[in-house]
Amino acid sequence: MELRPGLFLNSLFSEKSLILKDLTNLSTEILERFNELFSTEPILTLNEDIYDTFTKEEEKVIKIAPSKFRVIATCQII
């Protein structure tokens, strides 16, 4: 089994914007993973890449150039 890019990783690698609809409905675990992207120096940690498809064995972090990838999120205000 190897990690294959889905909608999220395809957007990241092709430097396209990602639109997240209704961010408030995400589970806490997933929202915590997205927090890495919202920092001043965005990164993505791919612990699931056990066969080093996208990352090196000792380095599971992908640094993201903020000018090449955008995350747009919507949420409901209650």
pLDDT single digits (tens) 23-77: 888 888 888 888 888 888 888 888 888 888 888 888 888 888 777 778 888 888 7
Let me know if residue 1 belongs to a domain: no
- How far is residue 73 CA from its own chain's centroid? 13
The residue segments making up the domain with residue 50 are: 7-69
Let me know if residue 76 belongs to a domain: no
Helix (H, G, I), strand (E, B) or coil at 76: coil
11 in Cβ contact with 17 (< 8 Å)? yes
- Domains identified in the chain, total number: 1
**The overall pTM is greater than 0.75:** no
Q: CA 24 to CA 21: how far, in whole Å?
A: 9
Phi, psi dihedrals of residue 5, rounded to the nearest 5°: -70, 135
Place of tokens 């990783």: 9
Let me know if residue 54 belongs to a domain: yes
Let me know if residue 31 belongs to a domain: yes
Q: CA 44 to CA 24: how far, in whole Å?
A: 20
